[in-house]
Amino acid sequence: MHTLKAVTIDFEDWYQGIEQPFDTWDRFEERIQASSDKVLSILDETDTRATFFVLGWIAEKYPTLVRGIAAAGHEIASHGYDHEKLYETKPDTFRKQLDRARKATEDAIGRPVTGHRAPYFSITRKSLWAIDILEELGFLFDASIYPGTNWRYGIPDTPGTLYMLNDTSVVEFPVSTFDIPGGRRVGIGGAYFRILPLFMTRRALQQRDALGLVSNLYLHPWEFDPGHPLVRFPWKAMATHYFNLWGTAGRFRRLLHKERFTTMGAVIDTARDMGEIPRIDVRPSTDHE
């Protein structure tokens, strides 16, 4: 059955999404194997295929784990190598690190990797060069743009559905938007999924379905792991990081029993069959977004 809804997992361990320095990662307790088992069992139980954006460092360290996810029928894409924000990275460094990440991931699964999501949705007007590098390296789709304004990221006034940026051939699958009384909200997944009641997530997805718009729900393995350690990091991120982690697995299971999801690659193919993907122009900026 065709669906326009993709489910995606940013495949990183709990300490990688909370801005702990790269050179300290080896000191933290490994929890990704157990938390990914929880995610995979719910996907299996509901016969759902998902897209996993795998961090290159994880692919190097746990190739068997990543191979197992691919063998279960999920789509494997890249989340870069070291979880740096792209707008704080130089283009050459990004090219080198992404190439390393992709090679490690392809070595693990024995298949090409053609999708990408930047850490912290960090393709902004300041790092639009990243799309050109993705094209140069042969990537076919990207899922890194937040069509709004957030304290860390976002390109306001860009569409909440598929498009190609400027003159590149990379299909952008941005963070999904939905309308509520009072305005447009950006984000189906992550903290929004844990904070808002489940019926609001469903309503957002149904609203998009009714309009024929693609959607994507994003989560992380650590969101299924309420027992992961509490450490200090910027308070604005802490405020949402630990919220309702106990509820994630049950909510995710209920949602997947009710709504049909698939991989980003499959959704993009379905959308292409329905019509041409539009091209939009976005001006780069040298200022911090």
Where along the sequence are the contacts to Zn ion (CB under 5 A)? 10, 12, 17, 119
Q: CA nearest 176: which of 130, 208, 206, 219? A: 208
- Closer by beta carbon to Zn ion, 150 or else 207: 150
At a CB cut-off of 8 Å and minimum separation 6, what does 96 contact? Answer: none
Rounded to whole angstroms, the Cα distance separating 154 from 147 reads 6
Residue 12 beta carbon to Zn ion: minimum distance, rounded to whole angstroms: 5
Residue 117 beta carbon to Zn ion: minimum distance, rounded to whole angstroms: 8
Q: How far is CA 152 from CA 48, 158, 222, in A?
A: 31, 17, 20
Residue 149 beta carbon to Zn ion: minimum distance, rounded to whole angstroms: 20
- Closer by beta carbon to Zn ion, 208 or else 241: 241
- Closer by beta carbon to Zn ion, 154 or else 259: 154
Q: What DSSP state is assigned to residue 230?
A: P
Residue 179 beta carbon to Zn ion: minimum distance, rounded to whole angstroms: 27
- Closer by beta carbon to Zn ion, 12 or else 259: 12
- Closer by beta carbon to Zn ion, 119 or else 221: 119
Q: Are 53 and 10 in contact (CB under 8 A)?
A: yes
Q: Are 241 and 29 in contact (CB under 8 A)?
A: no
Residue 53 beta carbon to Zn ion: minimum distance, rounded to whole angstroms: 7
- Closer by beta carbon to Zn ion, 28 or else 179: 28
Residue 17 beta carbon to Zn ion: minimum distance, rounded to whole angstroms: 5
Question: How would you list the strands of the sheet with 51-54, edge to edge?
Answer: 215-219, 5-11, 51-54, 75-78, 115-116, 141-142, 171-172, 163-165, 279-280
The radius of gyration of the chain's CA atoms, rounded to the nearest angstrom, is: 18
